[in-house]
Structure 1
Amino acid sequence: MTDAQRRTAAALCGLIIPAEGSVPSAADLMVHDFIDEWISSPYPDQQADRATVLAGLAWIDTESRRRFGADFADLTPAQMAAIADDVCHAPDAKPEHVEGARFFAKFRDLTASGFFTTPEGMYDLGYRGNTPLAEFKGPPREVLEKLGLV
């Protein structure tokens, strides 16, 4: 990504997963670096994502300038949310926002993937890693019955 694309990506990451309580935002955790690395990989799926993400970052800045006269990263949170609201649910997107909705779906998935694989994101989920068990009694009887194993 270019510096301008990274700036837009960081702003969008921060909008998608904002800071809450003691948990930092996706932008604070540099999730846009993860996305940049992801779309820079030479594999076919990541290269397809690259086309989607780079075109989408261009789209969101163009849409921001059209609506508000500034790049996405320079908008107020309310202005950013107004654009995101138009593209956050693809089935409801107006025809002129279909491209933006396709981009937003992919970018939101990448943002969540990057965020929830950080230590802070895992902590936010309540994941504490593997913990030793003194013993394992197996699955409860009702589960075995439901599976027809008893």
Structure 2
Amino acid sequence: MSAPEDLTRMDRRKALQWMLSATATMAVRDPSLFAADAAPVKAQGYGPDPVMVKVYKPGDVWPLTLTEPQRRTTRALCDVIIPADEASPSASSLGVPDFIDEWISSPYPAQAGDRRLILEGLQWIDQEATTRFGKAFADLALAQQTAICTDLAAAKPQAAHKKAAGFFKRFRDLTAGGYYTTPEGMKALGYVGNMPSGSFEGPPIEALRHVGLA
């Protein structure tokens, strides 16, 4: 998989293909990508029977993790991956940063590796932005943000970027997963779901007569 020439102009279908073809999937992660462990999550989960009719806001079920500086970096990175275009909104405008924060804050083993990976990766990308351009990632011009992301998205990233490339793959997967499960994201893909192809005028009169309703 080669790096896109311009991350800021990637269409939605290409983004989905990019996500699905990535070697880092939603269920697989490399715990050795970064050395330091994030603080463990001590909250309890919602158990096997969540209240499906209740509308939860971010932070209602368990405390969220990201600090405001980390959220700024997350928002900026999400929008480099899936920016707004003439047909669809940006990832941040659909609440994808909230989804990522909820994901890494949940007290389940499947998310533990992602918590560590995302937090360390956000720290790395801010440090890289400061080293290259003298500002935090969220404060960079779009071209500068894209330059960093293009290096991380390379098919064979430089040795100095190998660990951060693993973070970027996972962050990209989470961004695309959060985006394309929203109504707006599904619309961008042209997915309409189980929709009727025409009008339904009721059962035929013969069927109604058969059951004594006509």
Instruction: Give TM-score, length-normalised by structure 2.
Output: 0.60
2:113 corresponding residue in structure 1: 48
Aligned counterpart in structure 2 of residue 101 of structure 1, from 165, 169, 176: 165
2:129 corresponding residue in structure 1: 64
1:113 corresponding residue in structure 2: 177
- Specify the SS of the correspondent of 1:28: helix
Instruction: Give TM-score, length-normalised by structure 1.
Output: 0.85
2:188 corresponding residue in structure 1: 124
2:38 corresponding residue in structure 1: none
List runs of 5+ in structure 2 lacking aligned partners: 1-65, 199-214
**Does structure 2 retain, via aligned residues, the 8 Å contact 1:10–1:30?**
no
Q: Percent same amino acid at aligned positions?
A: 56
1:31 corresponding residue in structure 2: 96
**Residue 12 of structure 1, CA deviation:** 0.2
| Largest Rg, 1 or 2 | 2
1:78 maps onto 2:146 in alignment: no
List runs of 5+ in structure 1 lacking aligned partners: 135-150
**Residue 132 of structure 1, CA deviation:** 3.0
Compute the RMSD of aligned alpha carbons.
Answer: 1.1
1:8 corresponding residue in structure 2: 73
**Residue 133 of structure 1, CA deviation:** 5.7
1:89-123: CA deviation from partner (whole Å, max 9, x where unpaired): 3x411111011100000000000000001111000
Greater relative CO (CA pairs within 8 A, separation 6+): 2
